[in-house]
Structure 1
Amino acid sequence: MTKFKLFILVAVLCYCQDLFAQQHIFSGRIYNQQGEPLPGANIVIDNGAGTSADAFGNFKFKLPAGTFTVTVSFIGYESQQQEIEITDSERRQDFFLKQGDIELADVVITSEEVKSLSSISAYDIKLRPTESSQDVLRLVPGLFIAQHAGGGKAEQIFLRGFDIDHGTDINLTVDGMPVNMVSHAHGQGYSDLHFLIPETIQRVNFNKGPYYVDQGNFTTAGYAAFHTRDRLDSSMIKLEGGQYGTLRTVGLIDLLNRQQDGLRENLYIASELYLTDGYFDSDQNFSRINIMGKYTGYFDDKKLLSISASRFTSKWDASGQIPVRAVESGLIGRFGAIDDTEGGETSRTNLNVKYNLDLGNDAGLEHQVFFSRYDFMLVSNFTFFLNDPINGDQITQSESRSIYGYSGAYTKDGYLGNLGIRSKAGAGFRYDDVNDIRLSHTLNRKEVLDDLARGDVDETNVYAYISETLDITPAFSVNGSLRYDHFIFNYVDALATTYERQSESEGTFSPKLSASYKLTSQFGLFAKAGIGFHSNDTRVVVAQNGKDILPKAYGFDFGGFFKPVPNLSINAAVWQLNLDQEFVYVGDEGIVEPSGETRRRGVDLSFRYQLLQWLYLDADLNFTDPLAVNEPEGADHIPLAPTFTSIGGISFNMKNGINGSLRYRYLGDRPANEDNSVEAEGYFLLDATLNYTQPKYEVGFSIVNLLDNEWKEAQFDTESRLFNETAPVSEIHFTPGSPLFARASISFFF
């Protein structure tokens, strides 16, 4: 045997001896100070092993005998570090965390991605100017939103070189309940988060790419999962007022907080009223009302029941998108309108029930059922007098929808020898019953001149998935997963002369693979590859006889986490995402339609630095090269796809109660059409928030667009004709961004 072979044999034997040395069980639970479990809390051992607490706060490790440093953290809570000694065959240790801010020095690089850096907490939300839960999306690194229809319409979303429109390529959920609307009257994947009260948000988990098996339809650019509070720290009444006739009131009332005989129960209600005239020349007359209630019960630390219900309604007038030529000629002002009878109204009622059961032996079962009743009406005029020079081109889109759904999952943690195995299997369905989905040509928001499209949609999505995570060593973890989705599309065209139910169906498999490796205590790497998809609108599917029903997205990410010093965290990733089919905005129709193949490559950089115990700096930079495949060079741009974005700022939270932030947003210039002959202008904005917080009250002040820059929030290259024009003109049509907008608030806690 050669010396080299002998060396390899000795190395393998040493590794196996270490791997299969006698191991001991280290387990416990993670609670808050009130004795309530903290599901999702992170626990990390200094040998590199790490995991997250389950729905009941449980965790479990296999460790050799010795002394280890354990770090426990959870977004919104103070981290805790403790030394433990493993000598017996089983060691149990519970941890109780105090509410507070996560310290960057306590964020430990593990073989898993650092979850605390891909979460947004209630504290983060408080330090940003926020009018609705849609604004919370701005906290996701690289994500931008734009409002262009009076405040009540779902915002346009940009992420990873995508103009996502209102949700075509990002999956949004609230407590596991889907927000995206399939086959929507206005656009595929339409996602309206306005039914969620910002003060009720506990955290938002997010990630990018199609790599997450429990995230289904629309998870191509990424996902954001909102989680509402299970309990209130205290009741609260908030009054907020600002420029342009803005008034907002919020109430969060704790109705039940009981602990006895192994039972922990919490119940609260929340409400919100938001009114504003807006900064446009024509008043928006905007109103939004939200009411929510949530019950959470833990039974003997083995059963968890959560029931939430909410009701949302909103009405508004809008000035729409205006052509540059109308402003430059002096026909209207920057905040004027060509058709100020635009606007809309919408409502949503939700019921969501979740039941978790600890089966023992490190196994768990999750059930969820949900129901939503949704009504929508939107009036728009994108082309003015292009198609109808007498009455104008105003359109009305409307629908009435019921959504029924179930999801379930079985989880099991175990060991194969000393290798950790985490298994998850899930299944569920979603059924959308959409009645009278309609596109009409209207006049003055009242009179229907003719129906352009009208019918009923039934769409069903049944799915199942399995995921296996193998902790090969404390420093090396691999996950493989597979998802199957089956869709059934049905459409009845109400404008057809005879009754006919058009039907198509198709299924798709979505495999995913990821690995992470901790090189040192300061440096960890990850790699991800996977396939996702976005479904097409039912009306498109049946019209094309089932062609391109579920176009796929193929992605990979490679990156790492780096902590050169305890208070500095750096996250970097290079990535690519190919889509079989792109959604593009059609300006002269005001709709989104499927287009050809696309390819995006990019680099994401994130920096988090804790300068002092009370002072934080952060910056996110996102570079993207979006390209339409199979198009001639020079005509292969993707309209409105961002190429460079950055967000960041400084946040502070002092012990005397003063806290706040100064934040910037930068979106670079980008092509507005395929040959880049028309450009959408970028912008740079500063926003500021200052609060003084005491146990019984809080006074706050915030400013949007601190520098009072003139900027275009939404932009489209659209062909239109004004009433006095003899020929149409194609150019940028835009919605002006907010001028300097100041608000003040006072909150009382009891």
Structure 2
Amino acid sequence: MRFLSTLLLIFLNASFTFAHLGGITGTVRNDATGQPLPGVTVHLTGLGRATVTNELGQYRFVNLPPAPYRVELSFVGYQTQTIVVEVKDDEVTTVQTRLTTASIALNEVTVSALKAHDQQLISSLDIRLRPITNSQEILRLVPGLFIGQHAGGGKAEQLFLRGFDLDHGTDIRLTVDDMPVNMVSHAHGQGYADLHFVIPELVEGVDFAKGPYRTDKGNFTTAGWANFRTRTALDRSFAKLEVGQYNTIRAVTGLNLLGANGIFSRNKNDVARTGDQSAYVASEYSFSDSYFDAPQHFKRVNVLGKYHGHLSPGTHLTLTASTFWSKWNHSGQIPDRAVADGLIGFFGAIDPTEGGEASRTNLNAQLVTVTPRGHTLRNQLFYSNYNFELYSNFTFFLRDSINGDQIRQRERRNLFGYNGSYAIQSQVGRSQWTTTFGAQYRQDLTGAGATPTELSYTRNRTETLERVQYGTINELNAALYADEVVQLSDRFTLNAGLRYDFFRSRYTDLRQSPATGRSTTQGILSPKLNLYYTANPRLQVYLNTGRGFHSNDTRVVVAQNGPLQRTGEMLPPAYGSDLGVIVKPFPKLLINAAAWYLWLAQEFVYVGDEGLVEPSGRSRRMGIDVSARYQLTRHLYADLDLNTARPRAIGAEAGQAYLPLAPVFTSVGGLSLQNAGPWSGSLRYRYIADRPANEDNSIVAKGYFVNDLLVNYSRRKYMLSLSVQNLFDTRWKETQFATESRLQGEAAPVEEIHFTPGTPFFARLSCTFFW
């Protein structure tokens, strides 16, 4: 009886204690725009309890005894704020907090176990320390990612990362606001990713990771992925005018429609200031003749509109519509011998009639709901109408000694799809669990009531000589995934996931009469396992492992007696692993280093005479990535990225195992000045070492070292900027290929380096007004 009485007393005491516990719920917003801030770290000082704000900027602490609590809120690029919250008996205290932007202090940056799977501290720092001057600079924000333009600015850039010549996106997944950029089975090559529809001034951040380790990232995620986030709201309207050498002019405007100073805001302190809704429109116009001997006549127009509104306290809707158009001439790739013999200059052209035209219109709707229990439901619908036409001449007169070898690659495409996920947060003992289930769908249609996918031989961009490929593509990709992030303790975090992708590809050849169609299907399972150990706020060790894939071009997969028809290899897998460390050996020094390995079942190889990428054999890559950020003074920062790789083909003959154009060593770095009175800017370099241009390394693509300069002078109402590319006027080759070609009048073809010259000294002045 005494034992039962004791149990009853314990129960009553526990009931009484818990009955008088309270809690804290809060919302964190950007002070300038009123928009919620997800990803803010919230600490209960002295208690060792912490959390991260959700999509709506919300956080919550429960089971708190009545007392005053010090709540510390911190986020990279914002001023850390500490507030005192009084918790009362049986009450949940609600607080609203606004964070203001501030200069970054590296001694305040901590390595967090809360965001182990998602944290890319260097990305968050760089977007605030390196002002973006053009759309190409967006891609350079990813450490180790190099780009090369070989069509004067209109064509998508050639990409290099982790020992890959990625062509235009074969092994890297690029998205904008989670909408796909890569084009499957594209007229110019698999994975073609043109980011020129992004207005650089609207980029708020870049999320990225290297390797195939994320469950929610599917096709093309082998070398890595990057998602560019555009601004949800403008804190104020702006207009920018930029002029430069080579008849360059660029104008950008952004109009805040509903914000605190918006055109249609009713009251400076009403709903617009709370961040419940915002809207803006922006536009960009660019023109340049560029530095080539044959004027480029480059023109680009971008228009974007975005609305963000809260449908309820727990649901917000974001609608984005944009359209893009570009047209240009370009000088193409020229052979070394033509320059050496004086046939053309370094910036000359063999076929000056090369050029192209591209356009893309996008609709993107994103709906996010956070339930009262803290579950997060995401739904996204997207649609793109895309048009592309490109004229190139890679081999000059190799195939046709009379008319030349100019080709036209053309298509009109409709792309639409859905991304959805449901995330559940729970606590088991001291462990925090985040379970996510997701579904994704994408379909690409070319030639549906419009221009089919085409490869033809042409002359002077006006006459069609022969159609090599002409047909329609219908490619479907559906995926399901499950992902679990478990914070087992304050130090140890585990992430495990499983993804299944299903593909159905169909190609209809319109050259045949009647038109014939072939199709194929295949699926692939991609497991992931990632481990993180955070020893303290200055040190984290991680191990990433996973399986990914890149899809093959529909035209190659379904071709009768094609190279993949026999093997059924539509979705060749990739296996990767990273062993890395994030460390702060000193308060103002942050280092991220990783040793990595990647094995591919099938390599993509560039074929110069057709201007296409074709599948080849197996390959493996291994290397080391090191990124360091150091704060020299209150306003001056230094950064350094070093990336090594050893890419090799598997099963190749001795001396024939090199992967053409794959980089073996790259480095970027520089100094950035931030908020030194009215002054800011950067002095940067980028370096890529010599690399093999063919399988036996008998032809070498020469490396280069180039510097860029940016200086800004800012006042409340305006900003003046000077941007200089290639500060020391280095002569360099931006893209290089080992190509067999024949010039007019040559008796025999020659295989050697063909290149596009890099930008000479190129200065631009701009003035931006704010209101």
Deviation at 1:26, TM superposition (A): 5.9
Alignment of 1:421-570 (within 5 A): 421-435=433-447, 436-543=452-559, 544-545=564-565, 547-570=568-591
> Partner of 1:747 in structure 2?
768
Distance (Å, rounded) in 2 between the aligned partners of 1:503 and 1:23: 63
Number of residue-to-residue matches in the alignment:
726
Question: Shift of the alpha carbon at 1:24?
Answer: 8.7
Q: Which residue of 1 aligns with 2:11?
A: none
Pick from 372, 386, 389: which aligns with 1:377? Answer: 389
Partner of 2:141: 139
SS of the aligned residue for 1:168 comes to coil
Residues 182 and 104 (structure 1), Cα distance of their counterparts in 2 relative to 1, 3 Å cut = same
Q: 1:149 is aligned with what amino acid?
A: A
The residue identity in structure 1 corresponding to 2:702 is: E
Cα offset for 1:115? 3.5
Aligned to 2:73: 72
Q: Percent identity?
A: 49
Instruction: Supply the distance in 2 between the matched residues of 1:69 and 1:593 (Cα, whole angstroms).
Output: 60
TM-score by length of 1: 0.93
Cα distance, 1:216 vs structure 2: 1.0
Partner of 1:30: 28
Structure 2 unaligned segments of length 5 or more: list them.
Answer: 1-19, 260-264
Distance 1:659 1:607 in 2: 21
What SS class does the counterpart of residue 632 from structure 2 fall into?
strand
Once the two structures are TM-superposed, the CA of residue 491 in structure 1 deviates from its matched residue by: 0.7
Q: Does 2:626 correspond to 1:589?
A: no
CA distance in 2, matches of 1:447, 1:95: 64
Q: Is the deviation greater in 490-499 or in 252-261?
A: 252-261
Residues 635-680 of structure 1, C-alpha deviations (whole Å, 9 max, x = no match): 1111111111111110012342110000010111111011111110
The yes-or-no answer on 1:614 pairing with 2:614 is: no
- CA 1:491 to 1:311, structure 2 compared with 1: closer, same or farther past 3 Å? same
- Are 2:170 and 1:172 aligned? no
Quick one: distance in 2 between partners of 1:576 and 1:589? 31
Q: Displacement, 1:40?
A: 3.0
Q: Distance in 1 between matches of 2:641 and 2:686?
A: 10
Tell me, in whole angstroms, the C-alpha distance in 2 between the residues paired with 1:474 and 1:452.
60
Structure 1 residues 732 and 50: alpha-carbon distance in aligned structure 2, compared to 1, 3 A threshold: farther
TM-score with structure 2 setting the length: 0.91
Are 1:191 and 2:189 counterparts? no
Would the alpha carbon gap of residues 176 and 389 (structure 1) be closer, same or farther in structure 2, given more than 3 Å must change? same
1:49/1:475 contact within 8 Å kept:
no
Give the SS at the match of 2:371.
strand
Cα distance in 2 for residues equivalent to 1:24 and 1:475: 27
Q: Is the 8 A contact 2:36 2:275 kept in 1?
A: no
* 1:217 aligned partner: 219
Which of the numbers 398, 419, 423 marks the counterpart of 1:411?
Answer: 423
Match of 2:262 in 1: none
Deviation at 1:80, TM superposition (A): 3.5
CA distance in 1, matches of 2:439, 2:382: 14
Task: State the match for 2:271 in structure 1.
Answer: 260
In the alignment, is the contact (CA less than 8 A) between 1:285 and 1:317 conserved in 2? yes
CA distance in 1, matches of 2:70, 2:649: 51
- Measured against aligned partners, the alpha-carbon deviations of 1:33-75 in whole angstroms (never above 9, x if no partner) come to 2542112334467787765422101234679989998653334
Q: Is the 8 A contact 1:50 1:474 kept in 2?
A: no
Structure 1 residues 636 and 24: CA distance shift in structure 2, 3 A: farther
Shift of 1:118: 3.1
Counterpart of 1:14 in structure 2 is none
1:516-575 CA-partner distances (Å, limit 9, x unpaired):
111133211111100111101100110233721001110011111111121111111111
Q: Is the 8 A contact 1:254 1:269 kept in 2?
A: yes
Partner of 2:8: none
Task: State the alpha-carbon separation in 2 of the partners of residues 56 and 175 from structure 1.
Answer: 16
- The letter for the 1-side match of 2:79 is E
Quickly say closer, same or farther: Cα 1:155–1:385, change in 2 above 3 A. same
Partner of 2:303: 291
How has the CA–CA distance of structure 1 residues 471 and 367 changed in structure 2, closer, same or farther, with 3 Å as cutoff?
same
- Give distance in 1, aligned partners of 2:42 and 2:107: 15
Give the whole-Å Cα distance in 2 for the aligned partners of 1:69 and 1:650: 37
Cα gap change, 1:24 to 1:188, in 2 (>3 Å): farther
2:21–2:89: 8 Å Cα contact kept in structure 1? no
Counterpart position of 2:683: 662
C-alpha contact 2:392 2:407 (8 A) present in aligned 1: yes
Q: Is the 8 A contact 1:37 1:57 kept in 2?
A: yes
Deviation string 1:81-127 (CA, Å, 9 cap, x unpaired) is 5688999887766542102333211211122434332336653452x
Structure 2 counterpart SS, 1:489: strand
8 A Cα contact 2:582 2:591, kept in partner: yes
In the alignment, which residue of structure 2 is the partner of 1:237?
Answer: 239
Offset of 1:198 from its aligned partner?
Answer: 0.4
Q: Which residue of the partner structure matches residue 115 of structure 1? A: 120
2-structure distance, mates of 1:638, 1:535: 20
The residue aligned with 2:204 is 202
How far did 1:23 drift? Answer: 11
